[in-house]
Structure formats: structure tokens, C-alpha cells
Amino acid sequence: MLIQVILVLIFAAFIVLSWKRFKEKVISLGEAALWTLLWVAGAVVTLIPKTTDYVASLVGVGRGADLVLYLAMACMFYLIFKLFINYEKLEKKLTDIVRKDTLSDLDDGKPGKSA
Amino acid sequence: MNVIGVVPAFNEAGRIGATLSACLPYLNKIVVVDDGSTDATAQDAVMDKIVVLRHKINRGQGAALRTGTEAALKLGADIIVHLDADGQHHPEDIPALIAPIVDGKEDVVFGSRFMGIEPEGMPFARRFLMVGIKLFNALMLGITKNMTDPQSGMRAMSASAAESIPFSQDRMAHASEILRLVTRSKLRWVEVPVHVRYTQDSLRKGQKSTDALKIVWQLFVGAFIR
């Protein structure tokens, strides 16, 4: 199927990219191997979808497609939560800036009114 | 003793003047933090013995309280009193609130609405909610159940206590956060009964019952930020 060909080509490109980065000394050998493992796993799942059924049965989920969906959802929730945390951190930085500015008025002796 | 009040205020024009006038006899000075109001809150707060500071943009009650507390420390406060701007607290309670700190017996004193003095106009749903918050505080935040008021907004603390409580919740969750930080530290604390009066106005502008969920969320997210 066309979708399988496209996906496998994408995974292959990523494998090439991983080793290119290793050669550029951007990532370590271990990292390159780990990435390669991930891309190969993606390609295997693409070419032989039944393999997910095997992994799914190992963890007690009925179908491989369900397992992929569950994992994808878990990843999504994690990423959304990360976004919340980063957003909250930005809010705190904003508050710090606003507070610093406000308190500098006090140091300059120019708050609204002081007895 | 230099006793300084801290009053965070957001769009409290028309109300804040009376609140400040009523509190001033009991305090040496008041720091008002206008939290980016779009009305005349800052102008209304200008009077003798009042220091008006202004957040350029709205950052929330907790953030304004923290700014005011830091300002009070800079102004040489020995005791800092946190108060609401809408007049729901009774200024006559301030002497009893600060007395344990003045006597050197406690570091932090929380005003409790549930120690015998009947809260005026408190809706039943709010009372019911407090029971839930109390259980949540105990289970999730580890705040002792001896604490009768799980969401007190009126509190006093010594300068050294204020310096050692790094509360950082910008919005409504600061009250629970302060309770957690104080009750789980080595600081000496006590609750004293205070009057509280809910009016149509303060209920309309104050916390809604559904805000409890927001507070839980803020505390949860806050736990991952340091």
C-alpha cells in the first residue's frame, strides 16, 4: 500500500538523519542507536501491523491498534500537561517582572502616596 | 511595633476607601496593591498612611499579596496583616489577630470564620464547600485537620515569618498554599476567631463555589513548578 511505502521512506530518512547527526558529533553513539531502534520499530509496525497485536497481547490489550491508540493518547496528555506547566512558568516570570517594576516604584519613592 | 496591613485590590473603587479608613486606626500603615484595576481603585486608596502600589497588569490576588508583603518588609514592618479590600473582614479583629505575635508567642496567626463567631450572610453552599476543602487540604496538601478555616484570607505574620514563607501562587490558591507552608514548617501558628460579613456585593465579586476546582488545578500544576 502507498501509505506503507511513504511511512517506510520517512523512517528510512530519519535513520539516515540520526547517523548524520552522530557523524556531526551532535548526538552520541548510544543516542543514535536508540533513535535507529525507534525508527526501525516504526518501520516494522508499518510493514507488519500484526506485530502490534503481539505486543498488545503481552500487556493485556486486545488489539494492537488499540494499544497504539492508548499510547498515543498518553503521549498527547503528557504533552498537553507539559504545555500547561510551561505556560504556568511563563505566567510566573511575568508576575516577577510586574512585581519588580511595582517594587521599584517603592524604592524610587514614587508610589501613589506615602505618609 | 510597626504593624503594616497589606490589601490587594482589583476594581474595588467605591468600596476600598471605607475599608481602608476602618482599618487605619489599628495599623501604622497600609500597603494597597492595585492589581491592574481598570477603575479608580488606586485614586480612591490615596490617603494619609496609605502606600499605593500598582501592578501594571492584573496578576491575581496571590501575586498582589506577595508584592504587598515584600513592600511591607521593605518599609520595615515588624508585623504584616493580610486583609481583603471588599470590607468582609472586621477591622476590630486586628488587635486580637496580632496579639499572639506581639506577645512573642506565635509567628503566624490565621483568622478563622469557624471558631464560634457566626459568619454573616455566608451561603450554605459555601459552608458545605469548606468541609470538602478541609478534607482535600488534609489528604492532598497535608494540612492538619485542626485548622478550622481552610480558606482564611485574614492573617497576620511576623516579619521573619513573612520572609520565610515563599508563597508563589498568583491566583486564589495562595490561601491553601500559605496554610501548607506554615503548618508544615517550624513556624508557630494559631487560629483566632474573626468576624466575617458577606454582602451581595462581596459574594458577586468574590470566589464562586466552582472556583474550588480551579484552586485544585492551580495547586496541582504549582506542584510541578519550582
Q: Say if A91 is an interface residue toward chain B (CB within 8 Å).
A: yes
Q: Which fold has domain B3-225?
A: Spore Coat Polysaccharide Biosynthesis Protein SpsA; Chain A (3.90.550)
Question: Could you report the per-residue pLDDT of A66-80, keeping only the tens digit for each?
Answer: 888 999 999 999 999
**What Rg do the C-alpha atoms of chain B give, in angstroms?**
16
ipTM: 0.89
- Say which residue, B59 or A59, is predicted with more confidence: B59
CB-CB under 8 Å, B224 with A98: no
Over residues B136-152, the pLDDT tens digits come to 889 999 999 899 998 88
Q: What is the pLDDT of residue A112?
A: 53
Sign of the alpha-carbon torsion through B144, B148, B150, B152: negative
**Element (DSSP H or E) covering residue A7:** helix A2-23
What are the tens digits of pLDDT across the range B79-115? Answer: 999 999 988 899 999 999 999 999 999 999 999 999 9
In this model, does residue B206 exceed pLDDT 70?
A: no
Could you tell me where the beta strands, DSSP code E, fall in chain B?
Answer: 3-9, 29-35, 50-55, 79-82, 108-112, 155-158, 189-193
Strand ordering across the sheet containing B108-112: B50-55, B29-35, B3-9, B79-82, B155-158, B108-112, B189-193
Return the pLDDT at A114: 43
Q: Which of B60, B67, B222 comes nearest A102 by C-beta?
A: B67
How many Cα atoms sit within 13 Å of B218 on the Cβ side? 20
**pLDDT at residue B207, as a whole number:** 67
* Residue B89 DSSP code: B
Residue B222 burial by CB count (10 A; 0-12/13-18/19+): exposed, middle or buried?
A: buried
Q: Which of B42, B51, B59 sits opposite A114 (nearest CB)?
A: B51
Chain A contact set for B32 (CB, 8 A)? 112
Task: Identify the DSSP state of B173.
Answer: T
Count of residues in chain A: 115
Distance between CA A54 and CA A62 in Å, rounded?
10
Q: Comparing A76 with B130, which gets the higher pLDDT?
A: A76
> Mapping DSSP to helix (H, G, I), strand (E, B) and coil, where does residue B144 land?
coil
The pTM (predicted TM-score) of the whole model is 0.83
Residue B32 has φ and ψ, to the nearest 5°, of -100, 130
Per-residue pLDDT tens for B138-196? 999 999 989 999 888 999 999 999 999 999 999 999 999 999 999 999 999 999 999 99
Q: Is B7 helix (H, G, I), strand (E, B) or coil?
A: strand
Residue A112 and residue B66: Cβ atoms within 8 Å? no
| pLDDT(A60) > 90 | no
